[in-house]
Amino acid sequence: MPGTKRYQHVIETPEPGEWELSGYEAAVPITEKSNPLTRNLDKADAEKIVKLLGQCDAEIFQEEGQIVPTYQRLYSESVLTTMLQVAGKVQEVLKEPDGGLVVLSGGGTSGRMTFLMSVSFNQLMEGLGQKPLYTYLIAGGDRSVVASREQTEDSALHGIEELKKVAAGKKRVVVIGISVGLSAPFVAGQMDYCMDNTAVFLPVLVGFNPVSMARNDPIEDWRSTFRQVAERMQKMQEKQEAFVLNPAIGPEGLSGSSRMKGGGATKILLETLLLAAHKTVDQGVVSSQRCLLEILRTFERAHQVTYSQSSKIATLMKQVGISLEKKGRVHLVGWQTLGIIAIMDGVECIHTFGADFQDIRGFLIGDHSDMFNQKDELTNQGPQFTLSQDDFLTSILPSLTETDTVVFIFTLDDNLTEVQALAERVREKCQNIQALVHSTVGQSLPAPLKKLFPSLISITWPLLFFDYEGTYVQKFQRELSTKWVLNTVSTGAHVLLGKILQNHMLDLRIANSKLFWRALAMLQRFSGQSKARCIESLLQAIHFPQPLSDDVRAAPISCHVQVAREKEKVIPTALLSLLLRCSISEAKARLSAASSVCEVVRSALSGPGQKRSTQALEDPPACGTLN
């Protein structure tokens, strides 16, 4: 299926693929579809996993194809035009900063990305002697930055109340709400509130599904569905009173895992847009498509430079997998904002793979006292909320063992004396010490430091000749590259551990309504049984050993999620019960006796009398109400 490329690209992007065909999983939003590139991800070795996930990331930069339906893409004229219009609205705030504010908002990965970007752009403004104008909102507050609290994004009213607090007394507020799948109630409520108060607020919605695929089931504490909110925004966009930025970037390499491609595309799109806005104001240049395209190409370059290290990424993936298999721990120790990326990756493994919070953890080396809105929320909250260098030295370093892996993540512009001192202390306790190092052409890692790392991923960046934004483009490239490496490594390690069925997260933790519907879709996909039967089995697995009453069946989704998020192996338990036509207790016993969740499910799928194999269904059912 040939594509038509209007622009010169740094990388070779895959041609528009099977997922774009109108009949491919038609009832499922793009962000929840199964990516045809990775349908056999669970059978791949480490090297193949890196290659496949790299190809999925390259889809971010695809242009529109010649097939129908044609989804708008990142390089589509309509998307670039909207990016320029939004940049213009941000410029208005930057030019008249008194009473102005730019709010970046989201839940889960999107919320953590708003934290990272607000830190970066406030640092940019402070470096120019300007008053910082950015703030972030994350569902559940600052604790959600460093811990898995995905359930907090299910409340529209929570989102509105948080927005009111930060915008109090402001005259002009641009609110950029991020929901990768166009589904988070936390963001929907904020967008609706902004549209009701356009004298002060300008809402901008960022996601990666067409509006027609936005979630359309009721939000428990709000009057509108997400789709209705997005449709209203589209109408108001005609008068530039609201904007929707929603290019298609293709399905995730791991179905529905928006921490990966969705998180990366969010970073690329918004950093391009916001950096162009700042350049226009500070340098007095005209905002143009050319400016956007120049920055976008630097992110393509980041993909090329990162995945040129595929063999070393695969080596790190195997080492992380070995540590996890031996019940060891993986510690990601990152300097400055690379530490934020490390924290994000560790936190997201909890609900994605049903991991323990100690399995993969990130730590931030460097001063972070002015990064958080409410740093008090993280003080004395227990081990799950530790993130600093002191926390690593006091609670992790003394207990390191030979089954653990420690990954140092830094640039050659960081304090290398500090890096070496900490690495030497770690080497005294643990030999599995690795490094991900970023440098610029002409820089080299000092020999004494290099000797400390048996395995090293060294990413060398070309010099940039942007007169204004070069330093920040390079910073953003390094962050994105680190994100791609860590996402690939942690995902691949769990694939190698047998946590994935085809390219589905069979053992995810049901932490919010989005994941409840994803769980139901997986049960229907792999069991081939009716929606009603799958709902019954899912609720039985969630509430076991309590028998299901009519009152429990009729309870809101939030009640089921509240119980499910504290339990492990809910989805595989329900699926085995469906496939083997056995009780929940028998399904749980089979899982307990199995060495791998996915192996016991594969065995059940291939057993006698099963209509479904492990081939993905072409048209799994859409989400909706329980009735």
Q: Rounded to two decimals, what is the model's pTM?
A: 0.91
Does 534 score more than 60 pLDDT? yes
Q: Report, as an integer, the average pLDDT of 400-415.
A: 95
Pick 297 or 596 by higher pLDDT.
Answer: 297
In degrees, rounded to 5, the angle at the alpha carbon of residue 341 between the alpha carbons of residues 34 and 338 is: 145
Q: Report, as an integer, the average pLDDT of 326-334.
A: 95
Closest CA to 485 of 298, 342, 322, 348: 342
* Start-end of CATH 1.10.8.1080 domains in the chain: 513-605
Say what the pLDDT of residue 272 is: 95
Q: Report, as an integer, the average pLDDT of 487-498.
A: 94
Q: Report, as an integer, the average pLDDT of 564-591.
A: 92
Q: Annotate 266-283 with DSSP letters as a single string.
A: HHHHHHHHHHHHHHHHHH
Q: What is the 3-state secondary structure (H, E, C) of 187-227?
A: HHHHHHHHHCCCCCEEEEEECCCCHHHCCCCCCCCCCCCHH
Say what the pLDDT of residue 620 is: 42
- Taking the C-alpha atoms of residue 520 and residue 522, their distance in angstroms, rounded to an integer, is 5
Q: Report, as an integer, the average pLDDT of 266-279.
A: 94
Say what the pLDDT of residue 608 is: 64
pLDDT grade, residue 304 (50/70/90)?
Answer: very high
* Start-end of CATH 3.40.50.10490 domains in the chain: 77-289
Asked if residue 32 lies in contact with residue 250, where contact means CB atoms within 8 angstroms, the answer is: no
Amino acid at 381: Q
Asked if residue 303 lies in contact with residue 461, where contact means CB atoms within 8 angstroms, the answer is: no
pLDDT digits (tens, 9 = 90+) for 216-233: 988 988 999 999 999 999
Say what the pLDDT of residue 232 is: 97
Q: Which class is domain 77-289?
A: alpha beta
Q: Peptide bond before 547: cis, by omega within 30 degrees of 0?
A: no
Say what the pLDDT of residue 614 is: 38
Hey, what CATH topology would domain 513-605 get? Helicase, Ruva Protein; domain 3 (1.10.8)
* Start-end of CATH 3.40.50.12620 domains in the chain: 310-496
Say what the pLDDT of residue 375 is: 58
Q: Report, as an integer, the average pLDDT of 250-258.
A: 93
Does 573 score more than 80 pLDDT? yes
Q: Report, as an integer, the average pLDDT of 88-105.
A: 94
Dihedral angle sign, alpha carbons of residues 376, 382, 384, 389: positive
* Phi/psi at 203 (5° precision): -90, 140
pLDDT grade, residue 617 (50/70/90)?
Answer: very low
Domain 310-496, architecture per CATH: 3-Layer(aba) Sandwich (3.40)
- Taking the C-alpha atoms of residue 435 and residue 451, their distance in angstroms, rounded to an integer, is 11
Q: Peptide bond before 36: cis, by omega within 30 degrees of 0?
A: no
pLDDT digits (tens, 9 = 90+) for 364-394: 998 766 767 665 555 556 666 666 788 889 8
- Taking the C-alpha atoms of residue 247 and residue 499, their distance in angstroms, rounded to an integer, is 30
Cβ atoms < 10 Å from Cβ of 306: 23
